[in-house]
Structure 1
Amino acid sequence: MSLPHAILTALLEKPSSGLELTRRFDKSIGYFWSATHQQIYRELGRLESEGYIRALPSEQPARGQKKSYEVLPAGRDELARWTSASQDPRPMRDTRLRRLRASAVVGTAGLATD
């Protein structure tokens, strides 16, 4: 699993801001993947530009107000594609555990049994 997949999984579980994601990575998600707040914010921008996530509209946009993000259908599709992949292109940290966690959000239909 890469950081983008960990973030997509977390956002499918609960739409969150970058700060909320950082706190979650410091706790439960940290068992699967660790990331700094800089890495998380950089990846949020990348995922948004790729059309996998979007910032939720704010009722009162203000400077310095935190943005919450949600996963778009393309992001869910990417996570489902990843969970059904039989092999990662390069060795990753605890891939099976992260794939299992992600499949709990998007379904286990394509979960590989390797």
Structure 2
Amino acid sequence: MSLPHAILTALTERPATGAGLARRFDRSIGYFWQATHQQIYRELGRLEEAGWVASQPVEQGPGRQRAWRVLPAGKRELRRWTGSDLGSRTVRDEFFVRMRAEAALGQSGLDAQVREKLEEEKRMLALYREIEARDFSDEQMTRERRLQHLVLRSGIRMATQRIELYREALEILAMPAQR
């Protein structure tokens, strides 16, 4: 996935100022596609140059805020991209490389980092469950809401799996090294 398409998705859901988009991005798409606020602002400029979004000054906001919205060309691009080939999934997970390095080198202090990641993942899972209880408790959901809920449930499953993985890794890392 690309950052432009993540931004187009967020703005298609609801137009926003750059700051508002960055905050919303942090609370939704940012859980599975990370970008700094600086990257988002830079990309907004590129999307505007491409004719996919437009902005106008916000008269009552602080500073030089601009309100961003998706143009028809941006919606066409998002529709094209959404329907295009997903491609293959590339796995790049530093944790797995570190586990292999730990196996090759012996004890290296990886367990402390794994404990931190375990706690971080527990916090993320709690947040996901809080969002689910707050935003997806109604039984009669639309297609759109069900798709959003599916994305959230996927995050819940991944966080749960990651917690199990970290716990198992800590059990193994506690074993004495053979080297």
Under a length normalisation based on structure 1, what TM-score does the superposition of the two structures give?
A: 0.70
1:73 to partner: Cα distance: 0.5
Q: Give 1:107's aligned residue.
A: none
- Give percent identity, aligned residues only: 58
Q: Give 2:125's aligned residue.
A: none
Q: Which consecutive unaligned segments of at least 5 residues does structure 2 have?
A: 93-143, 145-179
Q: Give 1:42's aligned residue.
A: 42
CA–CA distance in structure 2, aligned partners of residues 20 and 37 of structure 1: 10
Asked whether the 8 Å contact 1:52–1:75 carries over to 2, the reply is yes
TM-aligned CA distance change 1:57 to 1:64, over 3 Å: closer
Question: Number of paired residues?
Answer: 93
Question: Does residue 18 of structure 1 match 2:3?
Answer: no
Under a length normalisation based on structure 2, what TM-score does the superposition of the two structures give?
A: 0.46
Asked whether the 8 Å contact 1:56–1:68 carries over to 2, the reply is yes
CA–CA distance in structure 1, aligned partners of residues 44 and 88 of structure 2: 23
Q: Which has the higher helix share?
A: 2
CA–CA distance in structure 1, aligned partners of residues 24 and 45 of structure 2: 18
TM-aligned CA distance change 1:92 to 1:67, over 3 Å: farther
Asked whether the 8 Å contact 2:57–2:65 carries over to 1, the reply is no
1:55 to partner: Cα distance: 0.4
1:30 to partner: Cα distance: 1.3
Higher relative contact order (CA 8 A, sep 6+): 1
Runs of 4+ in 1 over 3 A off after TM superposition: 60-63, 87-93
Q: Give 1:27's aligned residue.
A: 27
Q: Give the secondary-structure state (helix, strand or coil) at the position aligned to 1:7.
A: helix
Q: Which consecutive unaligned segments of at least 5 residues does structure 1 have?
A: 94-103, 105-114
Q: Give the secondary-structure state (helix, strand or coil) at the position aligned to 1:56.
A: strand
